[in-house]
Amino acid sequence: MIALGNIFLYKNRILQIRINGFLGFLFILFWGAYIYFVITQQENFTHFYPDLAIAILGGTSLLISTRYIRKDENLVRSLDRLR
């Protein structure tokens, strides 16, 4: 829900970057908990896990969005210097 609301904060890019950092922290916690549960249950990776695929897709899109938000912020700041 936070990530969906983050889309509408396009005028405040610094806040978007901070929210993406928080969401990245939550992804790291998720991966840590997921690996812990897999190790403790001695489960093999022969099955396809849709939640794992969704988490990989979400983490990748989070990294890409943070990169382009920073790129846009740097572009806006560089144009402000020219005025």
pLDDT value for 46 = 62
User: Which parts of the chain register pLDDT below 50?
Assistant: none
* CB-based contacts of 23, cutoff 8 Å, min separation 6: 2, 3, 6, 62
pLDDT value for 15 = 93
The rounded distance, in Å, linking the Cα atoms of 14 and 78 is 15
The rounded distance, in Å, linking the Cα atoms of 24 and 30 is 10
pLDDT value for 83 = 60
CA dist 23 to 20, 27, 37, 39, 68, Å? 5, 6, 21, 24, 16
